[in-house]
Amino acid sequence: MMNVSIVIPAWNEQERIEACLTNATRQTVAPHEVLVVDNRSTDATPRIVEDFIRDHPDSPVRLLHQDAEQGLIPTRNYGLDHATGDVLGRVDADCMLKPDWVEVVSGIFTEDPEAMGATGPVVYYDMPAKRVGLRGDDTVRRHTYRADGGQVLLFGSNMALRATAWRAIADEVCPDKEDVMHEDLDVSLHLLGHGMKTVYSRRMICGISARRIDTSFASFHNYMKRFRNTFEAHPEHWRRHRTEQALYAAYPALRLFYPVYQKYLDMMDINPAERIWLKEQFEIAEKEGEDADRQDAGDKVAAAR
């Protein structure tokens, strides 16, 4: 099985970074490393990561600092460039990886030597009806999130690259100094430009926040324009479907309901990021406990002999 690095760019993410690290490290297959790349945070993000490392000395978490330039792209690139795994996962600092994420990602690239990039669906952990939402996201991504007649596009909150593929495009990805593009689509199109295969797995699941919805329509519209801007920067690529149309259709209801549901979560004192994979986390902890008990029993038998 190929080992997997997880790269997490972070800027002022003190609210979610600890839960993000808990989910990234509590996996059925341990990640090779988890790199948090702090980009000039002015809140407690670096301290929280340092505390996590101190409290979990056996975890593969490392804190890096990218202070040369403010922005997601240089911070992402710094993390990917410093990662040492066979496969480089890239998620956001408010993402909660499903506990089998590393296992699934490793399997994708191990079983398909031609796969150079992979992505999967997401579930919004701070919205209700999560199963329905996951099915809807999966449907949209399988049927519309494509380019060049059906090639898979990667989603930045839930994506992974073969390390050799990243090294092949690292010097080519667009710096996007004006900040008008979708950086994940840019990476995808550079991969496709090299004839590299990208794949979609329905089992590669990540929990993300719906906070992007909690913004004005003007801001949301500008964010949606990034789809067009990215393809205009890559005129050799094309798409049949406009994924943003589905997002525009969902925006009014989500924008109305999101703040209401956040008030409910606050009233009930519920941290949705901690609860998203709670059942799966308990199962992993129970298995680890059973394994430890068996090891202790084996050690006692060996000592008695």
**Which is it for the CA torsion 86, 87, 88, 91, positive or negative?**
negative
**DSSP output for 73-135:** HHHHHHHHHH--SSEEEE--TT-EE-TTHHHHHHHHHHH-TTEEEEE--EEETTSS-HHHHHH
Provide the pLDDT for residue 128: 92
Residues in contact with 54: Cβ distance below 8 Å, sequence separation at least 6, in sequence order: none
**How far, in Å, CA of 57 to CA of 45, rounded?**
18
| Domain housing 25 | 4-292
Q: pLDDT (tens digit, 9 = 90+) per residue, 225-256? A: 999 999 999 999 999 999 999 999 989 988 99
Q: How buried is residue 196: exposed, middle or buried, by Cβ count under 10 Å (0-12/13-18/19+)? A: buried
Provide the pLDDT for residue 286: 84
Q: How buried is residue 45: exposed, middle or buried, by Cβ count under 10 Å (0-12/13-18/19+)? A: buried
Whether residue 298 is contained in a domain is answered as no
What's the chain's average pLDDT?
94
**CATH number of the structural domain spanning residue 33:** 3.90.550.10
Whether residue 285 is contained in a domain is answered as yes
pLDDT at position 23 over 60: yes
One-letter amino acid of 83: A
- Determine which helix (DSSP H) or strand (DSSP E) holds 63, and give its type and residue range: strand 61-65
Q: Measured in Å, how far apart are the chain's first and last C-alpha atoms?
A: 37
Provide the pLDDT for residue 140: 92
Number of domains in the chain: 1
pLDDT at position 199 over 90: yes
Let me know: does 32 contact 85? Beta carbons within 8 Å. yes
Let me know: does 35 contact 62? Beta carbons within 8 Å. yes
Whether residue 297 is contained in a domain is answered as no
Rounded mean pLDDT of 168-192? 98
Whether residue 114 is contained in a domain is answered as yes
Q: Give percent helix, percent strand, percent coil of the chain, each to the nearest 5.
A: 50, 15, 35
Let me know: does 190 contact 233? Beta carbons within 8 Å. no
Whether residue 304 is contained in a domain is answered as no
Provide the pLDDT for residue 292: 60
pTM above 0.85, yes or no: yes
Whether residue 299 is contained in a domain is answered as no
Q: CB count, 10 Å around CB of 147? A: 21
Whether residue 301 is contained in a domain is answered as no
